[in-house]
Amino acid sequence: MNIITSEPKVIWNSKAILGEGTLWVPSHNSIYFVDIKKKKILTLNIKNNKKKIIKVDKEIGFLAHIKKDIFILGLQSELRIINLKNKETIRSIPIEEDIPLNRINDGKIDSKGRLWFGTMDNPERSIKNGSLYCLDKKLNIHKVDTKYYITNGPAFIDAENFLHTDSRRKTIYKIKINKKYKIVKKTKFLKFSKKDGSPDGMTIDSRKNIWVCHFGGACISVYNLKGKKIHKINFPAKNITNCIFGGLNHNEIFVSTALKGMSKNEIKKYKLSGSLFKIKTNIKGIQPKPFKI
């Protein structure tokens, strides 16, 4: 089956410095995403087109849905379970308090309802301070992997196998874990060249193709599980950061982008950088799972 995609359409010119963490919540008919640097959660209801911005007190890498208005936020030095409606914090789980310059970056829920997320050095120095973690349904934290510059992804093939990225190394890894969250196998799945930019957020469709955002590469590439590129979507934005399937038929892709690090000339060339985009496609995504407690 050939992949067909529409032209990317701006649905919110949000001018995000570092748009990230796209999340589709079917019960809300809404796409959520964050602006890490502006400490904002942005939400757009695609049925009535209502937009909402929620300010948080720390830089935020992602949010994941639990139920109703309850979400889990990936913040600098903590995971926070919060009711976004009344702003009540239900639980705070400290992360890497001993590395104050680190922050949580990307995070996603796997097919078993577990939360996978990574950390990174916030000033983005050349140090491998980032780690990969999993939060299980008993709220236990498992440290799964270490020595990353900039963690990104994750995207899940099945309950034991997933992809995870180190953006600075321009490498996507394929990782297999056992029941004790130990890595049994880790291989290089893809390595980007300089002209491709860096691999950033990604998602997997119902046919197990991987849709990878190119930070600095102005596109999304689609690969099959053998690592062969089978499709490409060009964007009028330079830094493509994160993507997720959603929409009422689950055949739309929502894509966040970023203005971070762009020169005036680049902004002139890629005028729509920092926007939230939508693409229609002939392939469905995998229904998002909420976090299971």
57 marked as part of a ligand binding site: no
Asked about 145 being catalytic, the answer comes back as no
C-alpha–C-alpha distance, residues 163 and 102, integer Å: 22
Distances, alpha carbon 193 to alpha carbons 14, 20, 76, 82, 198, in Å: 29, 23, 30, 40, 8
β-partners of residue 109 are 115
* Token pair in block for residue 246: 């959603």
In this structure, the strands spanning 198-204 and 183-191 are unpaired
| In contact, 102 and 119? CB cutoff 8 Å | yes
Q: What is the largest CA-CA distance in the chain?
A: 50
Q: Which of 35, 110, 121, 200 is catalytic?
A: 200
| In contact, 35 and 16? CB cutoff 8 Å | yes
C-alpha–C-alpha distance, residues 55 and 233, integer Å: 32
DSSP H or E stretch at residue 266: helix 264-269
C-alpha–C-alpha distance, residues 243 and 286, integer Å: 13
Query: Which parts of 29-112 are beta strand (E)?
Result: 30-35, 40-45, 51-55, 60-67, 70-75, 78-83, 88-94, 102-109
102 marked as part of a ligand binding site: no
- CA 88 from centre of chain: 24
C-alpha–C-alpha distance, residues 152 and 249, integer Å: 27
196 marked as part of a ligand binding site: no
CB-based contacts of 26: which residues, under 8 Å, 6+ apart? Answer: 246, 287, 288
Enumerate the known binding-site residues for substrate: 103, 105
Residues marked as catalytic: 200
